[in-house]
Amino acid sequence: MTEEYTEVQTTEICCDERVIPSKYGFGVRHVQALVIFTTHTLAFLARGHLGATIVSMTNKIETVGSDTNEGNTTLDHIMIKSEESIYRTYQWPKSTQEVVLSSFFLGYSIMTYVSGIICQKWGGKIPIQISMFVNGIVSLLSPWVVAWGGWKALSICRILQGFSQGGMMPGIHTLLANWVPLNERARLSSYSYMGSGLGTVMGFQFSGLLAYSSYGWPSTFWTIGVLCLLGFTLITLFGAATPLQHKSISEEERNYIIGGSGYGTHTQPKVPWKAILTSTPVLAAILSHICNILCYTFLYMQMPTYMYAILKVNIKNSGILSSLPFLGVIIMCIVSGNLSDLLINKKVITVKNARRLANSVASIVPAIALCFVSYTKSVTVAVLLFVIAIGVQATMHSGWLVNYIDLSPNYSGILMAIGNGSANLMCVLILPVMVTNIVKDVTNQIQWRIMMYLMAAINLFGNIIFVILISTEVQPWNEEKCKDDPRTEDETIALKS
């Protein structure tokens, strides 16, 4: 597979007179990557802000412009004090908060499986459009919904948001397989997935800062709702499922993309489910996926609470400090993708060992940092260790994540759907139970320490299996043609010409 990182050679397309350019500068494919990055950022913003927002929803704070004088009846005073106001705070125990936080992943994990099939049939654009639109509307309505129905109503809102976001990752993987030439795969894929880090940073920042605004925590939901609707508009106007469906792309760039990837216009045969589900390398990648995401989600959702309860950081600063580790995600996405590219192109290591190295770094370093962070009460040291734990874990983008495309470019969306669905199902079924039963007192650092050791062990276990069983060879079933596919070989060639 080393050829996937080499320059695309000039060859004929399907025996006609058109040729594949050996190079092509900035073009529509970069716009598509930017659209993917933006929508991915907004999806993670909508997904992850509640980890910090729920702290301000359940703890009364002094907002900007508030007046503690009992005789003062300013708008801010009314918003905070009224028990029927959408701006009030709620007395939810830790167990209830865990249900609310994990409810997103219930809808997310269920829909992820289905979305893989949708992407395989209709491309990656539609699932992302649905995600942006639904998350926008639900976010705008959430403050009124929770005032009406409490934590149960908010949980339903989060399930709907998770349900609609189930198509994000398979959609992104499908779009990348169709739009990115092989020699640009590492770079553009890494840039696209940086959205997870930036979205998380924005979520923590918005939650911490807007909670102190005159309109309190509801303004976080409203801001995110508007941004998601703008994201829907962006992908609707500028996104396209494949180069063939884009109206303004040049013929030269289209040939470059299709010839360089080999999958820009590939047919969509029946999914070889049995072969996929019995493939040892696929199962190894999925297991590593599950273990990585369990650890990542734990930090993603629990770090603001840990900052507030153990490190005694106030709500505003908790959101700001909790966002710092995810700046590391942005940096490591760029570094790991380009470094992996460089090592392979220079033939320093093989593709397989590059994947092993990236995945091992993403597991071992965060595990060590997690163990150490549970012993300190220094805010500076803890934040530094969280930056290491979360930031370095982003090298997984050059590990199991890109390995899905290594194994099967044609079915990378399906593989992502299976892995992501399974990982997030574990986040719903296992993670809340673990946190609730181990961390019974959020102010008890020893209980948090046990939880962090457990997360470290899970992460290491997934990596060991991945390192042993990994393959970077395209699997035989990737090119299997469905027996009941009515299209003839000539028709398939015509689609590519």
In Å, how far are 213, 365, 415, 446 from 390, measured between CA atoms? Answer: 29, 10, 24, 21
- Note down the domain range covering 190: 27-68+76-496
The answer to whether 209 and 64 have CB atoms below 8 angstroms apart is no
Report the pLDDT value the prediction gives residue 319, as an integer from 0 to 100: 60
Q: How many domains does the chain have?
A: 1
DSSP states of 192-217:
HHTHHHHHHHHHHHHHHHHTTSTTTT
- The rounded mean pLDDT for the chain is 81
In Å, how far are 87, 203, 359 from 294, measured between CA atoms? Answer: 32, 20, 15
Res. 302: pLDDT tops 90:
no
Q: What pLDDT digit, counting tens, does each position of 313-353 carry?
A: 875 666 667 677 878 888 888 888 878 878 887 889 998 99
Report the pLDDT value the prediction gives residue 236, as an integer from 0 to 100: 95
CA-closest candidate to residue 295, choices 370, 209, 373, 400: 370
Q: What pLDDT digit, counting tens, does each position of 19-45 carry?
A: 666 666 788 988 999 999 999 999 999
Report the pLDDT value the prediction gives residue 12, as an integer from 0 to 100: 39
Is 420 a member of any domain? yes
CA-closest candidate to residue 410, choices 28, 119, 168: 119
Is 126 a member of any domain? yes
Is 167 a member of any domain? yes
Is 16 a member of any domain? no
Res. 276: pLDDT tops 90:
yes
| Pairwise pLDDT comparison (410 vs 84), residue with the higher score | 410
Question: What is the token pair recorded at 327?
Answer: 């700046």
% of the chain beyond a pLDDT of 70: 82
Question: Can you tell me the mean pLDDT for 196-215?
Answer: 79
Res. 361: pLDDT tops 90:
yes
Report the pLDDT value the prediction gives residue 3, as an integer from 0 to 100: 38
19 strand-pairing partners: 12
25 strand-pairing partners: none
DSSP label of 488: -
* C-alpha–C-alpha distance, residues 205 and 223, integer Å: 12
Of all helices (H) and strands (E), which one includes residue 291? Answer: helix 280-309
Is 376 a member of any domain? yes
Question: What is the token pair recorded at 279?
Answer: 């493939």
Is 17 a member of any domain? no
In Å, how far are 73, 94, 228, 248, 320 from 53, measured between CA atoms? Answer: 26, 14, 17, 42, 12
For residue 285, what is the domain's CATH number?
1.20.1250.20
Report the pLDDT value the prediction gives residue 415, as an integer from 0 to 100: 93
184-188, 281-285, 315-319, range with greatest mean pLDDT: 281-285
Is 10 a member of any domain? no
The answer to whether 445 and 310 have CB atoms below 8 angstroms apart is yes
Is 155 a member of any domain? yes
Q: What pLDDT digit, counting tens, does each position of 119-149 carry?
A: 888 888 999 999 999 999 999 999 999 998 8
Question: Can you tell me the mean pLDDT for 353-359?
Answer: 93
| Pairwise pLDDT comparison (251 vs 281), residue with the higher score | 281
Sequence-distant (6+) residues with CB within 8 A of 433 are none
Chain-centre distance for alpha carbon 407: 20
